Amino acid sequence: MTARRICSLTGLQLISDPGIVGYHVGKNEYPPLSGAPRDGADTSRNAWGRYDVPGQTFYVAETRNAAYAEVLSGFKRANGAADSLAQDADFAGMTLADYVEEIAREWSERNFMGLGAIPADWRYDRGLIPVMLPDPGWLVDVEDPDSIASIERAMGPALASLGISHLTTGNLRGEDRAVTTRIAEYLQGLMLDTGATPLGVHFGSKHGASWCKAIWLDHPDAVHVRTLPAKSILVTDEDLKVAADRFRIRVF
């Protein structure tokens, strides 16, 4: 059952969802509960997740569809961009499906970013992981008005130095990782009125209609996050098809 309250020390809106099931799309080669390691000394954070902090951050989405949307968005073609893979397939005298699978043997996954197509190997290498959130641990609802006001009061000069004159959900859902990860680091180090630091951040998906959570795996309560066996990602998965159709992506 979801609980909400204002922290008496920080003024942040806190949220706890014990037992709530969310979803995470992860690579099969890594432990189910893991995230890309981040170094606090990195000068560029463009490749970091929205609320990554030094160490590892694990992301959970509210629904299967939302989990797929979070990981598929990078494959979406830009508005107005031509379907270059279809043109190349025609030139090679191959179907688009055969062409994508053929070049997938030579291209890295990153080569497909922004091209509107995902080879079958992308699915084979991943699983959809159900996640149960722990009883202990509070997350910061970072988009709540009280949280925004609290962050502005505490981080005003730092935000101004990053070009943020007024913090809004537009900034929190924007692509400037120097802003969002700086906020995450500030929140990670705060002592709440529980006598503990936040477990992570609760935030809205920029793709709409769903929440997401960033869990900081260095937190003591992160050991209570439970992952269930990963499910194979099938091309017939209706949630995958809906997310792909919305992004105009072909999944093979």
* Cβ atoms within 10 Å of 60's Cβ, excluding its own: 27
Cα separation, 144 vs 187, in Å, equals 14
Task: Among 134-138, 158-162, 192-196, name the one with the lowest average pLDDT.
Answer: 134-138
**101-157 per-position pLDDT tens digit:** 666 565 666 667 767 888 888 999 999 999 999 988 999 999 999 999 999 999 999
pTM over 0.85: yes
Average pLDDT over residues 60-69: 97
**3-36 per-position pLDDT tens digit:** 999 999 999 999 999 988 899 999 999 999 999 9
Structure tokens given for 175? 């692509």
Q: Which SS3 state, helix, strand or coil, does residue 150 take?
A: helix
Positive or negative: CA dihedral 140, 149, 187, 182: positive
Distance of CA 213 to the CA centre of its chain: 8
Give the gyration radius of the chain's Cα atoms. 20
Of 214, 207, 150, which is closest to residue 181 (Cα–Cα)? 214
Domain residue extents for the chain: 1-252
- How far is the CA of 94 from the CAs of 87, 99, 117, in angstroms? 10, 6, 15
User: In the structure, how many helices (H) and strands (E) does the chain have?
Assistant: 8, 12
Q: Which SS3 state, helix, strand or coil, does residue 32 take?
A: coil
* Cβ atoms within 10 Å of 146's Cβ, excluding its own: 15
